[in-house]
Chain A
């Protein structure tokens, strides 16, 4: 009997001890969850650093702003950012670290199409939302439930260029594209959409990303006598093309892609940049926008914040991670950290007016932009001029 009593006593002691300790354990697990961890993979060094570097800086700035405003639902946000150096293999190792070691809620990036495509299967399998900052249409077509992107697709850029050409009665074009994923995707869109706008591609050429001379290709295009030339690439190649066009005295309009929509291009191409027409996100021409443009205020604020924090001028590409971060923060709100809820909320994002344009995600559109996300500009005397629509 006595034996039994002491057993009960021990039991009571054990239960009460657990009751005392439990809240502490519980509290500490709440403490651990009190930050929302968000992953970032950007090509902040290497050949695509002109994309990755401003994207990374923007994400850091946004996280700081969100935390300064009290975080999301009272929880602080923590960014874990890795550099993929433009290398798909490095992107894969970064995504594995984010998924398995850092256990992030969602991932923003990577910056380029090849690095994004390399990690898509991993996030799909782990069921973690990914918002890519890359342009390639293959990222969101066909639709993958967990993959979104904020950069305008090439599809839209080509449509914007062709619309302008149509208005200017240009029927025959020669194209010269860079021999990498960006150029190939552009070439596919240029050839694929030409018919819809009554345009024929009479000559197609390519150049290497580090080529120092493209006169041979341009001579060939010239002999096919097109009405205009479209060049698709990222710096410095298109600047070489622009210079060569002037040197060969080819007297037809040169169109470039949004890949060179930065002041750097004007600096590189110098006088040869004059008269070049290209599509760009609105951020490049914020000052020229109409005061009635709803995007103008958002752009001005982003520009001012970025300049204040990093003391360098904003680049057109950082906006991709700005929009990704804002939409993600909105989606996390009220989700309690549930990834499925975040994904559903992202997909339901409607009429979000961001730096890049107005986003309307749906179950069939994970890019959510229209050609209106681009404006057409002409380079005149070393600066941008808006083309009237």
Chain B
């Protein structure tokens, strides 16, 4: 049967993909003009096949549009498909199709009417919208529900293109009327459209009343599963007047828990959970919440992806209402064929549900998991055992003995993980389990991960008096002090000091050595600071040192991954959304702002007026003390950097010798050796209308940031600044448009710059991370990579706008972490399509061989990967990274007299500038 059909249609649709001959466009054009309908249809199919594989067939626009006048619905659909794709590129020509749309919207066939309205809405051409209004108004009142439901969605489309038009035309009211439509699908789409408009427009256009509520509940039983999800979600936003109404709604929603579609179940759970708080009668509440358990558990029998979503949500639910699933722990035990991401989530829930009643069973399970193959899962299982011990005091003994059994297996990563959790157990139950220290110390040699090392060092320092050879053990670690990670170094420093306080006679030499390494040899400011604190404490008052270093530590509880109550409540309100899967509030990841803009320049040309408003709002919320986590952390950064900024300026102008007292001078002395970056004064107080700025580029961990010191010589305190950069070679843009200083900088008077800085009260420093933004790229040829970057800063207090430029060097922008290994390089190279490659040949560069090229490029942070010989030519490969974000791959072919440069990067706008940059380096 299938043979006969494929013969009839001459093969299959895939044959449309195969024509790649020359003159194809011409052929297609002829076929499109063919009077034979089937031929015409086939031609349009070929065009669409080309479109699908990414070929540009926009030159056939007129020919395809000419096919629109057809009675054949199949052909019409194909043309519309084409039109939606290319309308934006040919807005003028698209107008030709308008007549057909308007005519189709009056067609006797409802399918064609709906098709016209649906397609018109998808054509995002501003000019077409005015023609859309009349057909849309008619369609919203159409007799056929299929047309009405299509029209309802179309209102949302139109709102996105031209919100004002929708409001002026009164379409919102019509949508609200459609919520009471007799057809449930129309209701569902109207709800969806209103909900989207509420979301984008920012004001509630939905307004559920008692009357609409009844309509929604009635439609809930009738409409499709997706419609049910829409309606349930809008119910979740409704505030019932009292517990009785809430109860009524819950009863109507409860049958949805038996739906086969997990999305319906999840949304029903969300409605019930959000209304449950309103119910005052405890018994009723218990009955309702008990009904949630079986459907939630049933979700765990679905496909793994559904299970994952369910588990992330259950994680929130058991934190909020632990009783619901308290007896169901067994269903969360891992199956051997669960995907790893499901296993990890199950583990989390097991820990939440573990209790004295089921701990035996849980430990048996966890012990099994700790011997599986997947390393990460094994680690988490070991950690889980420790967390059980911390959570359940009575079970701690058993947990410890399981951990000891696992240590016996001598599996490296099991051991490391066990050491880490045992450290936590010590902190939770001080002076109870120290007998196991001996066992741990037997395995010191195998520990090679920083976290495990830090843990064992902490244990040695803390319990030095119980370990016979604590000094030898620490001494052993000290041998490799310089190679250790920062965490381990800090722990070593503290542990050595602890040991010294406990056994001063034998360890004086050791402590001096470690203090020396920490304060003299290290670049890490944390380590230096801590080293100095200990040094001075030990030197001036050993008793105080004891009180500080050996003081009682607060015991800890297992709150890993436990959410703040406020965040938890927020997330429980977001059950059944991505927020509940990520465990992050929606604002943290929703960025639906930018539909790819056609006019990129618009964005770049936004001026300060817009920022001003945002800033005012932001500033007042800060003043109210409601600073969010993100702001706090950026504040923290700034404080850290303040120290560095101080130091580097001190060292740069050596005659100052540090502004503070003698003690301070001693503190700062060792740092003079390591100024990591140079800041230039870019703006004097006079140019800056009272604001003095020095700035420089810093490249930390591959992230490019602009670091700035501010001194305030103006009359008003400096609170926040807005910043904007000019278009530049690589399109650098600030990661956030404003700088909020950790604490306001009071007016520092017109006193000298140095003083203003060293008192720190009148100065502040800020590091502004940079991002790449193609919209901010300077037009080709207009800029060079070494040109200073133009900045504008606006002082939000005084309103003064200051312009300055910051000198830069290519090697500032190219990060030091651009080196790839061969395999990674190769996989990236292959992953970027050939079409994105740009290349050129330069003949005017000085004669060089690959070695010389490599040296030249290396000086600018462009890294050599590999090279091969290809006849007379030599081909070498390089990689570099721009501003820590954009990876560029390079292939250079060196031949006598010419050098060919070929660049690949996935960020297409950067390919040309990157190539030009390389060329200029080679020519230099």
A and B co-occur in one complex: no
Instruction: Identify the A interface with B (CB < 8 A).
Output: none
Q: List B residues at the A interface (Cβ < 8 Å).
A: none
